[in-house]
């Protein structure tokens, strides 16, 4: 079984990872402020959870700050602030199997705000857990590529946090 896979079909991106831990452990890392802050940000960024109301129609609000030199240069070059606030509204919360949320995209220069859906399914397979993240494409291929690269990087950060705990 492949530990890493990313596929694109139509308007969805599917990112699969298999981790050497329980679905409950991944659930805690995905749904508690300390867990989110430990892995959520791509390399060169930090995340600080401001609000977490884990229920359908509840919100996750966090700030993401560029801290790495390349990321700071990119953000400045794109005309974006170094710290942005992100909002996600939960649409499904089924412990420890599924979490789904709408992400508000209001940070893209010269583009109207919109939302896109992310669904994360966790499947316990013996001692391991398969994570399948299905994400809507963003408004164009450049931003969709950035989204996928960021999510893949974050999922590798999750792998590192899990490995460090074992």
Cα(24)–Cα(80) distance, integer angstroms:
36
For 90, other C-beta atoms within 10 Å of its C-beta total 19
The pLDDT confidence band at residue 2, using thresholds 50, 70 and 90, is: low
Which residues in 96-119 are b (16+ Cβ under 10 Å) and which e?
A: beebbbbbbbeeeeeeeeeebebb
Local structure of 55: helix, strand or coil: coil
Where does the pLDDT of residue 116 fall: very low under 50, low under 70, confident under 90, or very high at 90 and above?
A: very high
Q: What is the pLDDT of residues 3-49, one digit of tens each?
A: 888 888 889 999 999 999 999 999 999 999 999 999 998 889 999 99
**How is residue 83 annotated by DSSP?**
E
What is the rounded distance in angstroms from the CA atom of residue 82 to the CA atom of residue 67?
8
Q: How many domains does the chain have?
A: 1
Is residue 56 scored above 80 in pLDDT? yes
**pLDDT per residue over 62-106, tens digit each?**
999 999 999 999 999 988 899 999 999 999 999 999 999 999 998
Full domain range(s) for residue 91: 4-165
Instruction: CATH number of the domain at 62, please.
Output: 3.30.530.20
Sheet of 83-94: strand order equals 4-9, 12-19, 128-136, 114-125, 98-105, 83-94, 59-66, 45-52
In this prediction the pTM is 0.90
Tens-place pLDDT, residues 126-140: 999 999 999 999 999
């Amino acid at each position: 079984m492949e530990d890493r896979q990313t596929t694109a079909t139509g308007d969805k991106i599917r990112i699969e990872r298999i981790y050497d831990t329980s679905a409950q452990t991944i659930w805690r890392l995905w749904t508690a402020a300390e867990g989110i802050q430990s892995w959520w940000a791509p390399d060169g960024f930090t995340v600080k959870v401001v609000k977490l109301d884990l229920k359908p129609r509840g919100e996750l609000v966090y700030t993401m700050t560029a801290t790495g030199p390349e990321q700071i240069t990119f953000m400045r070059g794109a005309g974006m602030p170094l710290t942005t606030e992100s909002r996600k509204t939960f649409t499904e919360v089924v412990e420890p199997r599924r979490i789904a949320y709408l992400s508000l995209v209001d940070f893209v220069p010269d583009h109207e705000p919109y939302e896109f859906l992310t669904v994360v399914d966790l499947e316990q397979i013996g001692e391991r857990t398969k994570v399948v993240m299905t994400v809507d494409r963003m408004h164009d291929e450049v931003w969709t590529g950035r989204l996928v690269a960021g999510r893949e990087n974050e999922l590798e950060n999750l792998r590192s946090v899990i490995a460090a705990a074992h």
